[in-house]
Structure 1
Amino acid sequence: MKTTSLVALASATLLFACVSPKKLKQSEEKYNQLNGAYLELQQKYRDCQGNLAGANDQIKGLQNQKSVLTGQIDDLNKQVDFLKQNNNQVLNQLKDMSVISASQAESIKKSMENISAKDSYIQQLQTTIAQKDSMNMALVMNLKGVLGNLDDSDINIKVDKDVVYIDISDKLLFKSGSYDVTDRAKVVLGKVAKVLNNQPNIEFMVEGNTDSIPFRNGLLLDNWDLSVKRATSVIRILQNTYGIDPKRITAAGRGQYMPVASNDTPEGRAANRRTRIIILPQLDQFFKLLERPKTN
């Protein structure tokens, strides 16, 4: 047994002696590279899981909104059916009793036609709501896809009351007290512009916001001036660098008056210093849709 152990020890010593220090170092470096790549892939996987969870939350919110609207439309449809049935019964009873004139019968007939027009209007409204929900969801998913794994504290995309908001922190866009767009921010704006250029019928507003700390610097008088100047700086990048039609863009400054957090803490003030891109609803189409059916 002792002889066998000595032979094994001698064999191991001979094996390690045959491996040169250079090859051993190369193997260690290769191992470290592979281990680093493995850790990086693990982090990317966790980021993807986080993005997927956020997208699922957005989908659930839109589905809940759609369910509420669908319920309202069903109630309206039931009211229309009820009115149709009652009007038909009343009209037939009056005709049988011969107590209405021809002009009265014609008036009742027109009222029934108006009900049919309203029924068609409700169906059209239902279709438009479904289309708008689908468009907003596709837009949000496209934006999240092109922006990748940016920190949610720097950029946040959400849907609220059927409007898409893209909030970009001023920490990412500008240096402190400045309205010059940083090089890193230009890359992010280029990705947003790519999605917006693929939707040429969409109009949007770029809105500057500040915290409550008073600001005055040179020609800028206050936070109103700073917020508007930052909004127009972003617009010029979208227009001049990425070719977005300026007719589609509106510039706005909110100053310190639309906070999303308390200005009593550094974290709250940082959240309030943001530039918001608001995807505007196509109001002309909705106003046209909401017009009451014409009556004769």
Structure 2
Amino acid sequence: MKKWILVSFIAIVYSTACIPLKQYQETADRANQLDQEAGILRSENEELKVSKNELSAEVQRLKKQIEQLLQDTTNLSRRLQKEQYKYADLNKSYTDALQKFKNSSGSDADNKELLAFLQKLQEELQAREDALHKAETDLLKQQKELAASKSQMESQNSRLQELEKALQQKDNALLALRKSINDALTGFSSDELKVHMKDGKVYVSLEEKLLFQSGSYQVNTQGAEALRKIARVLEENKNIEIIVEGHTDKVPFKSGVLLDNWDLSVKRATSVVRIMLDNSQIDPSMISASGRSAFLPVKDGSDAASLQANRRTEIILTPKMDQILNLLENK
């Protein structure tokens, strides 16, 4: 009797301990996923910091260039003003000497001396006029360079602001999309599917056991329900490109019409695409199917856990980058 009670007690303790253990494992998996996503975001953040530092350095260089051009313009303006004063004084001297010559009634020697003085003044006046013209030309050129530098800096600042805004909008859209998909898939466990961000994309990774029987490309009932939920979210996002990738393990496979792992991975991807299109208003031009066979594994090794992890279907969501690419091309 005591032995039976002891066995029953152990069975109760074991059965009640299984639930917390599973929850702990799911929490640990989620924590690992969040750590990976945080690492990706940190890496992207560092890249953005480098880009911002480079752009800030360029803006500072342009500011210094503008300051130097302003100083040069001021100096040229002063030089032009001096040349204008000198020219005015010399022109007045020439005019006075010319009038004196016209009114002169002196000797031929005096007239010759006065005429020589007038000729000298005329030559100096021409030189001053040439210097004045050069100063005006230099000032005009400097003003054009200054205007061009200001325009370049304004354009750079405007482009930087547009680029930052576009990147922020992209990131916000991705975060919102990931949340929408996570919310739509709350009924599925972490060992059936995972939603994460990588390289500026949202990945929905569905395990083989959620979608297919072993060696089959017919989507089962539970998998079809998950795909319908995903499709309903994606049909609301018109600017998202969708790639469905089928992945297999590295164990050679051939069965019936299926020639190999390539064939299986492609047919699984197309099966997923058909269900998503049949159950939503997704634009068919925005979705594609591809098979990767066993050549993009998530885990190396030939143990059962590694092989199982590699048998998956991934729905890769990428925001259209037209706006950002246009900004980058128009440097």
| TM score, norm. by length of structure 1 | 0.74
- CA deviations on 1:158-217 (whole Å, 9 max, x unpaired) are 001221000001121111111111111111111111211222222211011111111222
Rate the CA distance shift 1:52–1:138 in 2: closer, same or farther, 3 A.
farther
The separation in 1 between residues aligned to 2:74 and 2:289, in whole angstroms, is 65
Which residue of 313, 321, 327 maps to 1:275?
313
Q: Structure 1 stretch 252-261 or stretch 197-206: which is displaced more?
A: 197-206
Matches within 5 A, 1:139-288: 139-288=177-326
Find the counterpart in structure 1 of residue 73 from structure 2: 95
Q: 1:75 is matched by which residue type in structure 2? A: N
| Maintained 8 Å contact 2:204/2:314 | yes
SS of the residue corresponding to residue 195 of structure 2 reads strand
What displacement does 1:129 show? 1.9
Q: 1:92 is matched by which residue type in structure 2? A: L
Q: Structure 1 stretch 197-206 or stretch 57-66: which is displaced more?
A: 57-66
Find the counterpart in structure 2 of residue 20 from structure 1: none
The separation in 2 between residues aligned to 1:286 and 1:173, in whole angstroms, is 36
Instruction: Say if 2:97 is the partner of 1:119.
Output: no
SS of the residue corresponding to residue 168 of structure 1 reads strand
Find the counterpart in structure 1 of residue 127 from structure 2: none
The separation in 2 between residues aligned to 1:63 and 1:209, in whole angstroms, is 26
The separation in 2 between residues aligned to 1:54 and 1:181, in whole angstroms, is 29
| Maintained 8 Å contact 1:202/1:279 | yes
SS of the residue corresponding to residue 152 of structure 1 reads coil
| Maintained 8 Å contact 1:73/1:122 | no
- CA deviations on 1:105-133 (whole Å, 9 max, x unpaired) are 42453233122211111111111222222
Matches within 5 A, 1:129-144: 129-144=167-182
Query: Aligned Cα RMSD in Å?
Result: 3.1
Which residue of 57, 79, 88 maps to 1:79?
57
Instruction: Say if 2:42 is the partner of 1:64.
Output: yes
| Percent identity (aligned) | 33
| Maintained 8 Å contact 2:166/2:323 | no
Rate the CA distance shift 1:278–1:132 in 2: closer, same or farther, 3 A.
same
- CA deviations on 1:92-115 (whole Å, 9 max, x unpaired) are 232244374634542453233122
Q: 1:274 is matched by which residue type in structure 2? A: R
| Maintained 8 Å contact 1:59/1:137 | no
| TM score, norm. by length of structure 2 | 0.67
| Maintained 8 Å contact 1:155/1:167 | yes
Q: 1:227 is matched by which residue type in structure 2? A: S
What displacement does 1:75 show? 1.8
The separation in 1 between residues aligned to 2:233 and 2:272, in whole angstroms, is 16
**Bigger-Rg structure (1/2):** 2
What displacement does 1:252 show? 1.1
Rate the CA distance shift 1:253–1:66 in 2: closer, same or farther, 3 A.
closer
Rate the CA distance shift 1:282–1:270 in 2: closer, same or farther, 3 A.
same
SS of the residue corresponding to residue 159 of structure 1 reads strand
What displacement does 1:45 show? 8.8
Q: Which runs of 5+ in 2 are unaligned?
A: 1-15, 77-134
Find the counterpart in structure 2 of residue 18 from structure 1: none
What displacement does 1:59 show? 7.6
Q: 1:144 is matched by which residue type in structure 2? A: N
Rate the CA distance shift 1:240–1:285 in 2: closer, same or farther, 3 A.
same
SS of the residue corresponding to residue 196 of structure 2 reads strand
Q: Structure 1 stretch 236-245 or stretch 177-186: which is displaced more?
A: 236-245
Q: Structure 1 stretch 100-109 or stretch 234-243: which is displaced more?
A: 100-109
| Maintained 8 Å contact 2:72/2:142 | no
The separation in 2 between residues aligned to 1:70 and 1:214, in whole angstroms, is 43
